[in-house]
Structure formats: C-alpha cells, structure tokens
Amino acid sequence: MKIGKHSVVSMHYTLKNQEGTVLDSSQGREPLVYLHGVGGLIPGLEFQLNDKIAGDKIKAVVEPKDAYGEISKDMLYEVPKSGFQGDEEIFEGMQVQLDTEHGPRLAVVSKIDGDKVTLDMNHPLAGVTLYFDVEIMNVREAEKEEISHGHVHGHGGHHH
Ligand code: ZN
C-alpha cells in the first residue's frame, strides 16, 4: 500500500548535511517506525514520503524552512562572562545548559569577546539543509487506537 495519512511506516534512514557528514542514521538499529500525517517527522521529509511504497529508496533534500527553521538572530543572547558560575573554563563551541522559564535548555557558546559571551539557542540543525537517504521497509494501516493516540503501538514496549 501507498503511504498516506495514518499509514504506519517503518523505514531506515541516513541523514547527512551538505558536506556529506552523517548526522544521524538508523543503520545498525531497528528501523524508525512512525505514524504518517500527524507531524511525527519534519514536514519536508514527511511530504516527500507521500505515496511511496515498501521497497522504495528515496533521496530527499529538505530545506531549513521545512525542517528545523532558519538560524534566528533572536535566539542569540549576550550575557556577561561573570554570570557563569563554577571553575569550568568556558570556550567557543562549548555546550552549556541554561535554566529558562521553559525549563532547562541547551545553548552553545558561539562567541567570547572580553567579558561578553554570546549564547546561541538555535536548534543545532537550524539553517542546515538536510539530505536524507530513506528506504521504506514496511507500510501498514494504523489501528484505530494508534490513530486516536497519535502514535504507533507495539514497538519498544511502549503502550498506554
Ligand atoms: Zn498509545
């Protein structure tokens, strides 16, 4: 059957950036299983999987606007270096955890200029064009219960 709304799709994928660096892959693991059409995947990838069938191998290029968004200057924050506690030396490229009103968030130290530290809270894949190699392993119709829950049952021992 073709992939459409409320198909349960299992697939292997490898995700690379423009330079060909592997960012993520299901190889050597169980295939990724997801419920199609409910926003379980990034929109640009889900769109390109419509109407595909088991056995199809797809190369999908997804622009940032259809993936994790563009890099936003609004997500850069300048803070004083003295605001960092502890003895740990901070350096550019370092990941730090911040306590925000939305709970703990990861940020990257993008620049240190004297006492001014710029923190970047963009998603690590913001601004990145994604290159997927996808192999569709299986397509089935979702059970009623899976549709009402909005996710797939019977994998990884998850049920509720
Ligand atoms: Zn459930």
24 touches 152 (CB < 8 A): no
Q: How many helices (H) and strands (E) does the chain have?
A: 2, 9
User: Ligand 1 centre from 157 Cα, in Å?
Assistant: 11
Express each pLDDT in 76-114 by its tens digit.
999 998 877 766 788 999 998 888 888 888 899 999 999
Class of CATH domain 73-120: mainly beta
User: Ligand 1 centre from 146 Cα, in Å?
Assistant: 6
Beta-strand ranges (E) seen in the chain are: 7-16, 22-25, 32-35, 57-62, 76-80, 95-100, 103-113, 116-120, 130-141
What is the pLDDT at residue 5? Answer: 95
What is the pLDDT at residue 159? Answer: 57
User: Ligand 1 centre from 1 Cα, in Å?
Assistant: 23
What is the pLDDT at residue 57? Answer: 98
User: Ligand 1 centre from 148 Cα, in Å?
Assistant: 8
What is the pLDDT at residue 124? Answer: 87
Domain boundaries, the chain: 7-68+126-149, 73-120
Q: Residue 12: what are its φ and ψ, rounded to 5°?
A: -100, 145
33 touches 155 (CB < 8 A): yes
Rounded CA-CA distance 94/107 in Å is: 8
- Cα 97 from chain centre: 19
User: Ligand 1 centre from 23 Cα, in Å?
Assistant: 29
Rounded CA-CA distance 95/4 in Å is: 39
What is the pLDDT at residue 155? Answer: 63
User: Ligand 1 centre from 21 Cα, in Å?
Assistant: 35
Rounded CA-CA distance 146/85 in Å is: 46
User: Ligand 1 centre from 112 Cα, in Å?
Assistant: 46
User: Ligand 1 centre from 128 Cα, in Å?
Assistant: 32
What is the pLDDT at residue 71? Answer: 93
What is the pLDDT at residue 97? Answer: 86
User: Ligand 1 centre from 147 Cα, in Å?
Assistant: 9
10-residue mean pLDDT profile of the chain (160 residues): values are 97 97 96 94 96 98 96 92 78 88 88 94 93 98 95 70
Rounded CA-CA distance 55/50 in Å is: 14
User: Ligand 1 centre from 158 Cα, in Å?
Assistant: 7
Rounded CA-CA distance 46/11 in Å is: 12
CATH number attached to the domain at 7-68+126-149:
3.10.50.40
